[in-house]
Amino acid sequence: MPYASEISRTNPTCILFLVDQSSSMGEPMAGAGVPKAQFVSDALNSLIAELVVRSAKEDSIPDYFHVGVIGYGTSVHDALGYLGGGGPVPLSRLANAPLRVEQRIKQVRGPGGQSGTTTVKFPVWVEPRAEGLTAMTSALSAARSALKHWTSERPASFPPIVVNLSDGQANDGDPLVAAQELRSVATNDGHVLLFNVFVSSMDSNSWVYPNAADGTTDRHARTLFTMSSALPPSMLGYAREFHPGLPEGARGLVFNADAAEIVRFLDIGTRVPGAR
Amino acid sequence: MNTPSLTPPALPWGHISSKRGAAPHACDDVAWVRCGRTPRGAHVRLAVCDGATESTYAARWANCLARTLADTEEPLPAGFAAAVSRAREEMARELDALKSDAVQSKRPLTWYQESALDRDAHATALAADLVVSDDGATLSVVAVGDTNLFVVEGNTLVTAFPLTHTAHFGTSPLLVASGRSDTASHQHVVSQLRLPPDATMILATDAVAVWLLDQHEKGRPAWDEAVRLARASREEFQSWARAKQERTELRDDDLTLIALRVSHMGQMTSGSRPLSTTQPVRERPGVEGAHTPHDLATDEVAADRAPEMAAGDRAPQALTLLAAMVIALLFLSVGLVRIAPSVWAGNEPLRPVPARATPLEEAAYVHGYEQSAGQESAPCGLSPIADPTDVAEAWRDGCRDARSEP
């Protein structure tokens, strides 16, 4: 059965984020009160921190995950390149080398339900950036190259997960072909999973986890639908906790969703079986 | 009265092994054991906990919980709630000490160690009280999650608890949290069993448990194999596990396999009842073989148990004899004492058995061998994880001595 490989120290998986850093990402994010670039980098940094804290043991961090971030604007770059480059980075290395650790104020709810604030440490690996065009096709091709190499060294691993966060259409060629080539990369446990998040300035006409393209008339949304992989059973199970009745074949796509839905999607899309 | 035959002792054998690629100490599975005597008979308390992978302090919590479960005097199942409560207090103290140490040693915690302090750690819990008296052997078990107990006779499964089918195992078992926001420990399940005369208890954390049930469901029961592996050397056990993991027949997880042979002479004294049935307390409606979550506040099972247990109190002399035999066998099994006929006859006072809980990994080897044999403070018989051969030989020697004495 595909997408069933155990994830362990000896058999890690890879999570690769493709982050749109074009100039339009400087516009406000629907429902978040911050620019889209800031929202996306905060969400990514939180997610990486969550992966670290979930995996960490008292005296070590097992490398259940290798993480990569490819940024794309006019060109494509390794957003974690400051760590030396060379592809996705083992989680333990990432954990111990954030760019900085900020102190942030977090809203909390007390035992009696009263709300308050507390200060938390917030590590930063990815900076917000918004300039230039949208080289999404090149980013998909770069992901394919990186994962072809990564999977050739770990053929038994749970297939890599690629999450593409963007607010616009590719202007460097047809992303469908590049997406198809990326999804053709595989381990013995299945093909690379490609999920798409359309980060919008609007929070209307949202379209989440569709299983057919006829749910929208938006041409770009249909393109992203075609690019996206279906959720494997374990992730479909998680998604159904928030969207009961989600049908088989639901794809890893959220379009025009609000901030909370996107954060939830990132959690679902990076939840893999075996990590209890 | 029949002449008692020499039977294998009631002692746990077993292995606790970390995941592939992990250091031996990087293991979230923990087992503790405490032996002693109660007015009802010889008593063994076993506690096994499996720390959740996604908790940084899971191993610490699993250890804290298992140790407290083993150490709590109050019988199960009623003692479970108190033990969890004590374990939480102990865990809070340990984490406070960790923070103080970091400050004093000027080696601050990393951002992720600090973040993890704000979160609960989680672990499964399985605690079992085995009481052996002249009325037979009874077992009270409390469980949260997918750490499982099997009672077998030979290569036949008598009962599995709390999960009875491979389909019941998933990636999100119930867990006991280290914080007070926990609700899972309020959903613990309870079972009481009367053990057959030649029963073996097998305790296993999820990876081994699901493999055992899978073999059972496929009509290839491996209970004998489990007992053999529990008694095998660590190298043999690990070699077996790695081979199974290579073939993806066994999950790459921390592994715990403990076997406890419970031989008791159900027909030794007149008036004793055949002990051939097991009685799980409740079944969850609609889920075959699964057990009902049991609320701590209304523990009907504890009340149900009292009359049954009282049977042992009606025959104090026979009870003493049985307790003497079981405990003597426990000692014999680790070579701590050589059994003399007078002990068999129950005419001499028994050596005191410490009531302090002992971590299963080290108990027999550290306390049984490295302390001199026969010390008053020697604990009950435990399988030496490091080298069971020595124990087996000591037990055989003891048997020969016992048989040769007039």
Closest Cβ–Cβ partner in B52, B59, B116 for A53: B116
pLDDT for B24 beyond 80: no
Nearest CA in chain B to A55: B54
pLDDT tens, per residue, chain A with 276 residues = 689 888 888 889 999 999 999 999 999 887 778 899 999 999 999 989 999 998 898 888 989 999 999 999 999 999 999 998 788 999 999 999 999 999 998 888 776 778 888 888 999 999 999 999 999 999 999 999 999 999 999 999 999 999 999 998 899 999 999 999 999 999 999 999 999 999 877 766 788 899 998 888 888 889 999 999 999 988 898 899 889 999 999 999 998 877 678 878 888 777 765 543
B171, A273: Cβ pair inside 8 Å? yes
Q: Which of B56, B107, B182 to mutate: most A Cβ within 10 Å?
A: B56
Which of the two residues, B385 and B160, has the higher pLDDT score?
Answer: B160
Q: Helical H runs in A200-258?
A: 219-227, 233-242
Residues 6+ apart with CB under 8 A from A228: A194, A195, A196, A251, A252, A253
**pLDDT class for B308, splitting at 50, 70, 90?**
very low
Residues of B in contact with A51 (CB under 8 A): none
* Pairwise CA distance, residues B325 & A109, whole Å: 57
Residue A157 CA to residue A13 CA, distance in Å, equals 6
Q: Which of the four pLDDT bands, split at 50, 70 and 90, describes residue B293? A: very low
- Give ∠ CA A165-A19-A162 in degrees, rounded to 5: 65
Residue A82 CB coordination number (10 Å): 10
Distance from CA of A196 to the nearest CA of B (A): 26
With beta carbons less than 8 A apart as the criterion, state whether A125 and A45 touch.
yes
What does the pLDDT read at residue A217?
82
Q: Is the pLDDT of residue B266 over 60?
A: no
Q: Are A150 and A87 in contact (CB under 8 A)?
A: yes
Tell me the mean pLDDT in the region B210-234: 94
Place of tokens 């990876």: B207
β-pairing, A89-90 vs A76-78, is: unpaired
Q: Which residue of B has its CA nearest to A110?
A: B181
pLDDT at B361 over 60: no
pLDDT for B198 beyond 80: yes
pLDDT for B282: 28
* Interaxial angle between packed helices A233-242 and A259-269, expressed in degrees from 0 to 180 and rounded to the nearest 10: 150
Q: Would you say residue B248 has pLDDT above 50?
A: yes
A116 CB within 8 Å of a chain B CB = no
Tell me what the mean pLDDT of segment B288-301 comes to. Answer: 33
Q: Rounded distance, CA A249 to CA B174, Å?
A: 29
CB pairs under 8 A between A and B: 71
> Which residues in chain A are closer than 8 Å to B59, comparing Cβ atoms?
57-58
Q: How many CB atoms lie within 10 A of CB B273?
A: 12
A53: closest CA of chain B, how far (Å): 6
Beta-carbon separation of B59 and A6 below 8 A: no
Q: Which among A57, A121, A234 is the nearest to B26, CB-wise?
A: A57
Residues B324/B134, Cβ–Cβ less than 8 Å:
no
Cis-peptide, bond into residue B77, ω within 30° of zero: yes
Which residue, chain included where needed, has tokens 């929070």? A203
Q: Identify the pLDDT of residue A67.
A: 95
Closest partner CB to A56 (pick from B116, B118, B252): B116
Burial (0-12, 13-18, 19+ Cβ within 10 Å), A34: middle
Give contacts of A59 with chain B, Cβ < 8 Å.
Answer: 26
What's phi and psi for B164, nearest 5 deg?
-115, -5
**Closest chain B residue to the Cα of A12, Cα to Cα:** B21
Question: Closest to A121 (Cβ–Cβ): which among B111, B171, B172?
Answer: B111
Contact B203, B149 (CB under 8 A): yes
For residue B56, give how far its alpha carbon lies from the nearest alpha carbon of chain A (Å).
4
SS3 A178: helix
User: How far A54 CA lies from chain B's nearest CA (Å)?
Assistant: 4
Cα–chain center distance at B351: 23
- Identify the pLDDT of residue B71: 87
Q: Which of B50, B110, B147, B255 best tests the A interface by mutation, with the highest count of A CBs <10 A?
A: B110
Residues A232/A238, Cβ–Cβ less than 8 Å: no
Strands (E), chain A: 13-20, 65-72, 76-78, 89-90, 100-109, 115-124, 161-166, 186-187, 190-191, 193-198, 207-208, 253-255
Of B2, B1, B340, B18, the C-alpha closest to B205 is B18
Closest Cβ–Cβ partner in A57, A121, A234 for B115:
A121
Supply the pLDDT for residue B264.
61
| Token pair for B402 | 């016992």
Nearest CA in chain A to B28: A57
Q: Which of A87-91, B44-48, B277-281, B395-399 has the lowest mean pLDDT?
A: B277-281
Task: Give the Cα separation of B145 and B49 in Å (integer).
Answer: 9
pLDDT band at residue B47, thresholds of 50, 70 and 90?
A: very high
In three-state secondary structure terms, B99 is helix
**Mean pLDDT for the stretch of residues B231-238:** 88
Distance between A10 CA and the closest CA of chain B, angstroms: 6
Question: What single string gives the DSSP state of each residue in B299-336?
Answer: -HHHHHHHHHHHHHHT-HHHHHHHHHHHHHHHHHHTTS
Which of B20, B59, B118 has its CB closest to that of A8? B20
Tokens in use for A226? 């075609």
Query: Both tokens of residue A145?
Result: 């190259």
A123 at interface of B, judged by CB pairs closer than 8 A: yes
Whether A120 and B115 lie within 8 Å, measured CB to CB: yes
